[in-house]
Amino acid sequence: MLGRLNHVALAVPALADAVARYRDMLGATVSAPQALPEHGVTVVFVELDNTKIELLEPLGEGSPIAAFLAKNPKGGMHHVCYEVTDIVAARDRLVAAGARVLGDGEPKIGAHGRPVVFIHPGDMFGTLTELEEV
Active site residues: 130
Q: Is residue 58 within 8 Å of residue 66, measured between CB atoms?
A: yes
Q: Is residue 45 within 8 Å of residue 7, measured between CB atoms?
A: yes
**Single-letter amino acid, residue 55:** L
Helix (H, G, I), strand (E, B) or coil at 66: helix
CB atoms near residue 28 (< 10 Å)? 15
Q: Is residue 91 within 8 Å of residue 8, measured between CB atoms?
A: no
* Residues linked to residue 55 through DSSP beta bridges, in sequence order: 10, 44
Total residues belonging to the chain: 134
- Mention every residue, 6+ apart, whose C-beta is less than 8 A from residue 127: 79, 80, 121
